[in-house]
Amino acid sequence: MRALVIRRLFYMVPTMFAISLVAFLVIQLPPGNYLTTYIAELSARGQSVDQTQIRALEERYGLDEPIFVQYLRWIGGIVLHGDFGQSFQYQRDVSDLIWDRVGISVALALATIVVSWGLAIPIGIYSAVRQHSVGDYVFTFIGFIGLATPNFMLALLFVWIAFAYFGESVGGIVSPEFADSAWNLGKILDVVSNLWAPVLIIGTAGTAVLIRVLRANLLDELRKPYVVTARAKGLPEWRVIVKYPVRMAMSPFISTIGWVLPTIVGGEVMVSIVLSLETTGPLLLQALRNQDMYLAGAFILVLGVLTLVGTLISDLLLAWWDPRIRHAQAEEV
């Protein structure tokens, strides 16, 4: 198992590199560079441009050097010093700005995964075991709607309903009265009460996909001979189903985390923007709109790397869950 973990970690290096290239590309894409934008910004505010400061910035980012040197400086700063560059909009280090937001985003994504699984597993099993029942059709229908509705639309609907029927204006993870207080039980409960709606909205599409995947897999597995064997032993029906076909159907299910995760991160960004949650989403959008590219690039890099880590965890989870994969990979090493 340790060899497997090491090998997977090793595999991640080229992908990490590719993600950093993409993030750097996003930084470089807009016309002009950081400096020209910065100078334009300063002149727009009517401020004079300090030549020595410009020299210092040019030096820092190597703006007059070839593009790959710029890349090396950028990524070197991140890897060696945790320096993601400067946000000209906030006049602060990017690393000061992102980590709080990233933390909340990760918490939101994790909560969404837990909730999606908690909903998808029982519903998926029910739909497969009671195929063609009324419940099956109802869940399938809801799943299709959930899949077809953009989650920002769901978020907007939620905002509208909360406002029109409950007179509440939604937004924010921490209610104003707890904004400055330290973490305590009240604040945690407050956060939970504010989070359940975003979590459900972000998770809708993912949950719908997971239910469909689990249902289809389980339907396949239920017809396999080993299920008959288990029944022929005299096991009660629920134990037959939970121990054997569900266990088998979970393998492809677990491997879906890998690609459900990017959707969840994306959905989190969209929903956070609509509900103005203090996560990466709104800040990323703002940074992109203002061409605050080091900030935007940092978000894309961090979100990409986190998704990659999530995928790695799902791979390892799968190896732990399914002895066939564990053994096949152990033999490869």
Partner 1 sequence: MGFNLPLKRRGTSGEPGETADGAPAESLGAASQWRLIWLRLRRHRLAMASAAVVCMLALIGVFCEFVAPTTPGDYSAAHTHAPPQRLHFVDTSGGDLDLGLHVYGYDSVRDEETLAREYTVDTSDKVELGFFVEGTPYRMWGVIPADTHLFGTQDPEERVYLLGADRNGRDMLSRIVYGTRVSLSIGLVGVALSFVLGVVLGGVSGYFGGRTDNFIQRLIEFTMSIPTIPLWMGLSAAVPREWGPLTTYFAITVILSLIGWTDLARVVRGRFLSLREEDFVLAARLDGCGRSRVIRRHMLPSFTSHIVASLTLSIPLMILAESALSFLGLGLQPPVVSWGVLMQEAQNIHSIAGAPWTLLPGVAVTVAVLALNFVGDGIRDSADPYQ
Partner 2 sequence: MATGTDQDVLLEVRDLRTRFRTDHGEVPAVNGVDLTLRRGRTLCVVGESGCGKSVTARSILQLVEPPGRITGGRVLLHPDPDAGGADAGDGHASATASPAFTESVDLAALSPKGKEIRRVRGRDISMIFQEPMASLSLVHRVGNQIGEAIRVHNPVSKKEARRLSVALLGQVGIPSPERLVDSYPFQLSGGMRQRVMIAMALSCEPRLLIADEPTTALDVTTQAQILDLLADLQKRRGMGMMFITHDMGVVAEIADDVAVMYLGNVVERGTVDDVFHAPKHPYTRALLESIPRMGGARRDRLPAIRGTVPDPAKRPTGCVFRDRCDSAMPGLCDTVDPPPIDVGGGRQVRCLLYGGAEGRGPDDQVGGTGDDADPTPRTGKEAADVDAN
Q: Is 237 in the site for partner 2 (CB under 8 A)?
A: yes
The verdict on 319 binding partner 1 (CB under 8 A) reads no
- Compare residues 221 and 268 and give the one whose CB is closer to partner 2: 221
Least distance from C-beta 37 to partner 1, angstroms?
13
Say which entry of partner 2, partner 1, none residue 69 contacts (CB below 5 to 8 A, set by partner kind).
none
Q: Is 252 in the site for partner 1 (CB under 8 A)?
A: no
- What phi and psi, each to the nearest 5 degrees, are found at residue 180? -100, -5
Closest CB to partner 1 among 68 and 165?
165
Binding to partner 1 by CB under 8 A, coded x per residue (else -) over 183-222, reads ----------------------------------------
User: Does residue 291 bind partner 1 (CB under 8 A)?
Assistant: yes
Which 57-116 residues touch partner 1, going by CB under 8 A? none
For 64: left if phi > 0, alpha if psi spans -120 to 50, otherwise beta; the answer is: alpha
Residue 155: other Cβ atoms inside 10 A = 23
- 226 forms part of the interface with partner 2 (CB under 8 A): yes
Considering CB under 8 A, how many residues would be counted as binding partner 2? 23
Minimum CB distance to partner 2 smaller for 72 or for 228 = 228
User: Which residues contact partner 1 (rule: CB under 8 A)?
Assistant: 14-15, 18-19, 22-23, 26, 29-31, 144-145, 147-150, 152-153, 156-157, 159-160, 163-164, 169, 258-259, 261-263, 265-267, 269-270, 273-274, 280, 284-285, 288-289, 291, 296-297, 299-300, 303-304, 307-308, 311
